[in-house]
Each structure stands twice: as C-alpha cells, then as structure tokens.
Structure 1
Amino acid sequence: MNAVFLGMACLLTVAAGYWVLGRGTPRPAGTWAMGALLGSFALAFASYSPLLDDAVETVVPHVARLLSNTASLAAATAVLAVSFQLDLEPAEAKRRVRLRFALFAASAVGMTVLFTYEQMTHRSPQVYALYLLLFISYLGFAIIEFAQQSVRQSRSARRGSVRLGLRLAAAGCAFALVYTAYELTVLVSLGLGIHLIRDHTECSSLVATPCVFSVTSPALAVLLICIGLTLHAVAYPISQARRHRWERRSCDALGPLWQDLSAAMPEIVLPATPHHDASADADFLLQRRVIEISDGILALRPYRSQQVLESMQRTTNVESEEKAAIVEAAVVKAALAARNVGLLAKEVAPPSWEAASRKDLREDTQWLLRVADAYGCQTARLADDDQTPVGG
C-alpha cells in the first residue's frame, strides 16, 4: 500500500508543479485552483500511506487522522474552486470560492481544536463524535454540491473528453459518499455506544472491512475526481497531435490532384500570405489546398462531359459514396485533358451532388480525399496500359 499511495502522491505533486509552473504565461483561468487541487490530492494520497502515518504518529500520537481528514477537506474545497471557475462568471466564482475557503478554514481550525482537546481528555468519545460531526458536515456538503454540478455540466458539455471526465468525477463523488456514510456510521456508533464498527488503527488490506470504507473508498474518490477534472487537459494535446497528423497526411494525399490542376490552371493557386510559414501550419496549408482544388474543379465546368459521367455511372459497380468519388475523378480527369487541348464538352455534366452536400472543411477534405484516391488509381492504371507491349 505504501508504494501505491506514495507513488500516486509523487505523481500528483509533479502534475501540480507542472500545472502551476510549467505552462508558461499568461496562465489560463483556474490554473492556481487546479494546482491546489492536485497538491491537496497528493497530500490526501500521502496521508493514506501507513509509512507516513507511522512517521507522524511517532511525533504526535493519532495525528495522522487529523492530517488525512484535513487533506480530504482541502481536496473537496479545491474541487469546488475548480468547478466554480470553469462554470461561473469570474466575479461570482471568486465570491463562492472565498466563501468555501472560509468554511474550510473554520472546519480545519475546529477539527484541530477538537482533536487537541480529545487528546487532552484521553480520547473522549464525545469529543471525537463532535470532531466527526464537523468533518462529515463540510465534506458531505462539498461532495453533494460538486456531484450536482458535475452531472449538470456533463449534460451540456460539447467535448466528449469533458463529458467523460465529469462523469468520472461524479463516480468519484459516489465513492466519497460511501466514505462519508462510513464516517456517519462511526458517529452514530459513538453516539449510541453500540460499537457498530470495531476500533481500527492500521490497514493491511485494501479490501478488508473496514479498510474498504475508510481507505479504499476515499482513495478511489480522489483518483476518479482527479482523473475526471484533468482528462480534458490530457486528451486535448493528444487530439491536437492526431488532428495535425491527419492534416499533414491529407495534404500529401491531395498532392497529385492538386499538382495536375495547378499546373494546368496556375491562377487557382492562392497568393502567399505575408509573414506566414505555411509549412509549419498543416491546418492552413490543408485549407488552402482544399480551396484551390475546389476552385480548379469549378473552373473545369465547361469541359465536364455528360457522356463520360454516364459511361462511368454504368460501368462502376461499387457502393454509392465510393462510386460517386470514382465517377467524379473520371470526369475531372477527362475535363482536364479536354481543357489542355481546348475541347469544350458538347453536353456539360452537372457538378457532383456529393461535393455540394459537404458542410465544413473536414467533410470537404474527406470527399476530395476519395476523389484524389480514385484519380490516382486511374492515373496509375492509364500509365500501366501505356507501358503494356503491343501483342502481349
């Protein structure tokens, strides 16, 4: 257990340092709140470690419980602060964060006073019950408030990673409520003097009773909430890297079609933008290439042959979308050849319906990628036919 809890504490400490110090300036809203959240979660995980418990209790007996509970309250407060700053206007978020911090400070001071008095009275059950009541009240209030916000925000979030993260955080709140229910049971047991839960000082297993409620549940709650709130920040650079790779590959795949069109019609090439390095911006380069190819296909309209269109539609026996791309590629290739010799179409073929139905850059790109793939296959097939020896 020491390796698990201390390892997570070190990992979260590094994450907190990166979040606060390694993101450059200016820092986005919520940076300090997220750093406090990761730091308090690191302290919470460290407080669950038997090694740390033994070390601090050699100095002050039973103080590990106070440190663990205070870290849990700090984590709950940091969670609310992050949630407020992401969901509310800055002024309202600041007001609510100050109020929750004041409640946390009052709870932590009250718990410290009660803990000290409890030790002076030789662990009085009545004083311990008051300590638990103060701890449970604030923790339960913070968990329920954050769970409500997580569920509400997950329904309106647009990004899939944000929705998933909020749902994971809501699941973490469920584990936190299990821990709160356990502490409430301890409180009732002390109040009634019926000893529903045996006195327990050290956990040797994460699945044994009552450790599954007193240690495993809060640890899972901290882990799920931490993953949930940071999932988008981790997923975003990954999705950006995947998007940039797709843009670069798309530019390369559209290259042969673009080269043939731009060689025949240099006027479709957009002028260079001053002070812009197109080679370093795949998104910019892809957008230019899609526009230039679309302009080139539009410029070929007087040369688009209805006869070629009908012939390809009769001879192509594939699925509808792939068939449309193959037909369009054949029409473009024939129109480009006709333009090079100045031969207008006797009957002009209409523009592709598939191209007209696209709504954004990505859909336009995906359509042109199919056309470019079919165009390349037809070019390669014609080249092979030209190299075939006469008479076999």
Structure 2
Amino acid sequence: MSDIAAYLGAAVLVALAAWAFASERRGARRPIRRAGLAFVLCEGFSLALLAPGTVALSHAGVDGLSVIALGDTVRTAALSFLMLLACLLNPRPARRRSPLGQAALAVGLQTVMVLLFVAARPTLTPGGDVITGSGGRWPLAVRVALFAGYAIWALVEMFIALLPQTRLAATGPLRWGVRLVLAAIGIGVVWTLWSYDDIVHVLRYGRLDGSEDTVSNTLGALCATLVVAGSLAGRCSATFEAAVRWVRLCRCYVVMGPLWSALREAMPQIAFPEGGRPLLAGWPAGIEYALYRRVIEIHDGRLVLRTYHHPAVAAWLEDDSGAAAATDAALMEAATIATALENMRRGRRFTGAGERSARGAADGDPALIPTDLDAEVRWLSRVAWAFRRSPVIPELLERLRAEEGYGVASRG
C-alpha cells in the first residue's frame, strides 16, 4: 500500500510536469512557471526514490544508502524551488527575497545536509532502516530537524504568497485552483510535522526509517493530487467554465421539458421541422441549439394562447395563495399558461382581456425583464418549474373547471 501511494503520487506529479512542459510556448521566458515545474519534478522523483520498494532494491546490488541520500537531496531541492516560487509569486515587494540569496541558501543547505549524513556514518539494515552509533545520533537528528524546519519555512512562505490570490484571481476556476493548492500546502505541513517523531527515534535508538512510511506516502500522494487538481483548475478555466455552462443548460433543458411538451401537444404547429444540430453535437453548441429552439417554440405557443387568457387568474391566485403568490412573476406566468391551455382545450376564448401575464405585470421591474437569451432561458426555467411543481396550478385549474357560468364565456 505504501509503495502504491508513493509511486502513484510520483507518476501524477511527473505527468503534470510533462504536460506543463509540452504546453509551454517556445521562446517564452516564464521564471514562475519554470520554478513550479522544477518543484513538481523534484518532488515527484523524491517520492519515487524514497518509496520502500526503491530502497529495497539494495538486495539487488543497489547501494541503498546512496538511494536514500539522493532522494533526500532531490526533496531538499524541491523545497528550494518552492521557496524560489514563493519569492516570485509574493505580491508584496517588502516580503520578496532575492532569488540569488535563495539559491545561495539552497546550496549551503544541501552542503550541510551531505556533511551531516557523512558525519553520522549510518548503515542500512536489511529491513530498510538507517542506523547509526551513539556518536552519529546528533548529526543525524540535526539533519532531520534542519530539513523539517526548512520545509515548514518554505511552505509557510508559499502559503503567504498565494493567499491574496484567492481574492485577486480573475475567474472562479482560478480562485478554486489557488484554494486547492493552499489545501495541498496544508497537507504538506502535516506531512512535514509527521517526521518530527524521527528525531526522537534517532536520539533514543539511533534508528531512522530509510524510506517513507505508509502515512507519509499517503500524505504525499494526497498532496500531489491536490497540486495537480489546483493546477488543472487554474490552467483549464475555460474548459471548466464550458463544462459548468453545459451542465446548467442541460438542467434548464430538462426543467423546461414539461412546459414545452404541453404547449407542443396543444399546438403542434409551433414545432419547427425536425433536423438540424443533434442535441449532443459539439460542446456546448448542441445543447445550446436545442435549448434555444425550445425557447422559441414556447414563445410561439404563448403568442397563440393570448386570446385564451382568463382575466381572473391574478385575482384567483391572490385569493387562494395570498399576495406573495400573486407577486411571484414566474408563478403568475405559469398559472396564466396553464389556464389558457385549459381554455383552449374547451374552446373558450376571452375578448378584451388582453394578455394578463407575469411579464406584463413585471414591466415596471427591469430585474424581471430578460435582456438576452441566457436570461430568457433562466426565466422560462422558473416558469416551467412552477408549471410542473407548484401546488397552486392544479387548484386554479379545478376552480376554472368549476367556475359558475364558465360555459357562457364570450367567444372571439
């Protein structure tokens, strides 16, 4: 299980780095992007190098201590690139540090880490643990503490640099991408703190796990997944927005279905000739075509129903459900259409009543007047939902059928 988590996390990070590198434009110099790419690559390779399965290759003649030292070096390099990335991303000039200073610190840290590893003079057990004598415990413990402290520092700097972007990002997907990366940083802090018990083990027993344990590898894989998800959400914002729009249009298409079907059943002449773009052709062009065609057919049906509008619907609605229902524009429109359909089925027309619909009642409220096709879709979705789901509509239809003198309504 530990090997699977480690290798899976490594594969995800390396795949992300390869995709980012392949999509980079030639000749573009982007220090921020390249620092992030270097961090992702180093972190992915360190996960693979420090996996228990890789360290266990010492049984096949591979020097396990060299593999562990290389893995630690690559992981420390990943932290250095993360620190550089934080310096480049920080929007506050006062908190920016010189990249050259960070590079000098990274080189110095790598040198100290190697010297401490050599001073500890460790050996590798068949089980993959690093052990050292009493004289090497302190150098090995200091090495672990130095790495953990540097990791916490880099993660905190990165968190501080990215936090303002949750408000400054231009689009919703970009903001969600930043939030996912911030969540990955939080997991990284937990992952780093998990290694502090190694200091106690080294000082007490002179023993250190040469590879990452199951918890560490699981946290690493989770961290890698969040980084990839955040990166994809940020880079693929246009695709994400198109997917959200497609889902919303599909929902509107389904919601408008009962109203559209009722109108087409009563007035087959409003239906356009079959053919045209299939429902799912293109993305989201197919659903847009089908939805807008449905909108036009609904409006054609509403025009045909104008002479069937009952003049008392608004008063009935207020009597049965109160003033709140009478001022609900979508419910008023749905009730007007439902009663007009019933009148059409019975052949009852009303002259001089005009079109008493919610749209006409709402003419004074610009918020209720659709200004574009998307707004029209949202409006008709509300009307269709009320037409299908509101309990007021069946009550109005029963009142219409039981209306005294209903049969003497004037004919056009």
If the TM-score is normalised by the length of the shorter chain, which range does it land in?
Answer: 0.5 to 0.7
What residue number does 1:208 align with? none
Q: State the Cα distance separating 1:370 from its structure 2 match.
A: 1.8
Question: Is 1:327 aligned to 2:308, yes or no?
Answer: no
Whether contact under 8 Å (1:254, 1:372) holds in the other structure is yes
Counterpart selection for 1:68 from 71, 74, 97: 71
What residue number does 2:367 align with? 356
Question: Is 1:43 aligned to 2:45, yes or no?
Answer: yes
Q: What amino acid maps onto 1:309 in structure 2?
A: A
What residue number does 2:189 align with? 173
1:186-335 correspondence runs (5 A): 189=203, 196-200=204-208, 215-234=213-232, 240-250=242-252, 281=285, 307-315=312-320, 324-331=329-336
1 CA distance for matches of 2:370 and 2:34? 40
2 CA distance for matches of 1:135 and 1:102? 20
Whether contact under 8 Å (2:79, 2:151) holds in the other structure is yes
Q: Deviations over 1:309-351 (max 9, x none)?
A: 223444569x9599652322344688999xx999673989521
Whether contact under 8 Å (2:313, 2:335) holds in the other structure is yes
Question: Is 1:88 aligned to 2:91, yes or no?
Answer: yes
Q: What amino acid maps onto 1:246 in structure 2?
A: R
TM-score, normalized by length of structure 1?
0.61
TM-score, normalized by length of structure 2?
0.58
Q: State the Cα distance separating 1:82 from its structure 2 match.
A: 4.5
Counterpart selection for 1:185 from 197, 200, 203: 200
1 CA distance for matches of 2:255 and 2:159? 42
Q: State the Cα distance separating 1:226 from its structure 2 match.
A: 2.3
Q: Deviations over 1:38-64 (max 9, x none)?
A: 322222222222332243684546223
2 CA distance for matches of 1:12 and 1:201? 24
Percent of residue pairs identical:
16
What residue number does 1:136 align with? 145
2 CA distance for matches of 1:217 and 1:104? 27
1 CA distance for matches of 2:377 and 2:163? 31
Q: State the Cα distance separating 1:75 from its structure 2 match.
A: 2.9
Whether contact under 8 Å (1:316, 1:323) holds in the other structure is no
2 CA distance for matches of 1:291 and 1:102? 65
Whether contact under 8 Å (1:172, 1:225) holds in the other structure is yes
Whether contact under 8 Å (1:325, 1:367) holds in the other structure is yes
1 CA distance for matches of 2:375 and 2:95? 39
**Equivalent pairs, count:** 346
1 CA distance for matches of 2:85 and 2:13? 16
What residue number does 2:170 align with? none
Q: State the Cα distance separating 1:176 from its structure 2 match.
A: 0.6
Q: State the Cα distance separating 1:371 from its structure 2 match.
A: 0.9
What residue number does 1:370 align with? 382
1 CA distance for matches of 2:240 and 2:29? 19
What residue number does 2:278 align with? none
1 CA distance for matches of 2:317 and 2:158? 57
CA RMSD of aligned residues (A): 5.8
1:49-60 correspondence runs (5 A): 49-55=51-57, 58-60=61-63
Whether contact under 8 Å (1:172, 1:224) holds in the other structure is no
Distance 1:41 1:335, change over 3 A: same
Q: State the Cα distance separating 1:124 from its structure 2 match.
A: 7.3
1:4-43 correspondence runs (5 A): 4-21=5-22, 23=23, 25=25, 30-43=32-45
2 CA distance for matches of 1:224 and 1:365? 40
Distance 1:150 1:353, change over 3 A: farther
1 CA distance for matches of 2:296 and 2:179? 37
2 CA distance for matches of 1:321 and 1:46? 66
Distance 1:368 1:144, change over 3 A: farther
Q: What amino acid maps onto 1:372 in structure 2?
A: A
Whether contact under 8 Å (2:76, 2:147) holds in the other structure is yes
Distance 1:17 1:182, change over 3 A: same
